[in-house]
Amino acid sequence: MRSEEILAFESGVKPGIARPESCEWARSNFRKYHGVLDTQLGYVLFHSEDDLRDYRMNGAYAEDFGRLMGYPPIAYENWTELCESGWDVKQVVDYSGIRFVCFNHHVEQAIAWMDQRNKVERRVNA
């Protein structure tokens, strides 16, 4: 059974996906998409060659990675501060298979951005 994240990627809702090397789906679909095998992340796949090129040039930076994965800007613009904060002030948001972390006080703004960008049946767990 495929995860919601994989389904979101396959349907084109999620522009990029990172899966561990042990992921059979990623291994078997590597040539179908534009991808690279990253030493830390495993398989990193995109729908577009431009996104893959951008990842190769800038993907190590949290802001670029978040943008390429389809996360709302509020979830990656202050990535360092977010990483250094405890779970009492941040949470994981699962928006129809696109999972990201943001501060509690940014959840509504992040969901509104996702609603505007994505035309899918919205399922949110926050």
Q: What digits encode the pLDDT tens for the residues 33-50? A: 999 998 888 999 999 999
Q: What pLDDT, on a 0 to 100 scale, did the predictor assign at position 110?
A: 95
Give the C-alpha separation, 107 to 115, whole Å: 12
Instruction: Look up the domain containing 17 and give its range.
Output: 1-61
Using CA atoms, how far residue 21 sits from 42, 46, 64, 70, 74, in Å, is 5, 16, 22, 21, 29
Amino acid at 70: G
Q: What pLDDT, on a 0 to 100 scale, did the predictor assign at position 41?
A: 87
Model confidence pLDDT, tens digit, residues 40-84: 889 999 999 999 999 988 876 777 889 999 999 999 998 889 999
Asked whether residue 55 falls in the same domain as residue 2, the answer is: yes
Give the C-alpha separation, 106 to 23, whole Å: 32
Asked whether residue 23 falls in the same domain as residue 75, the answer is: no
Residue 89: pLDDT over 70: yes
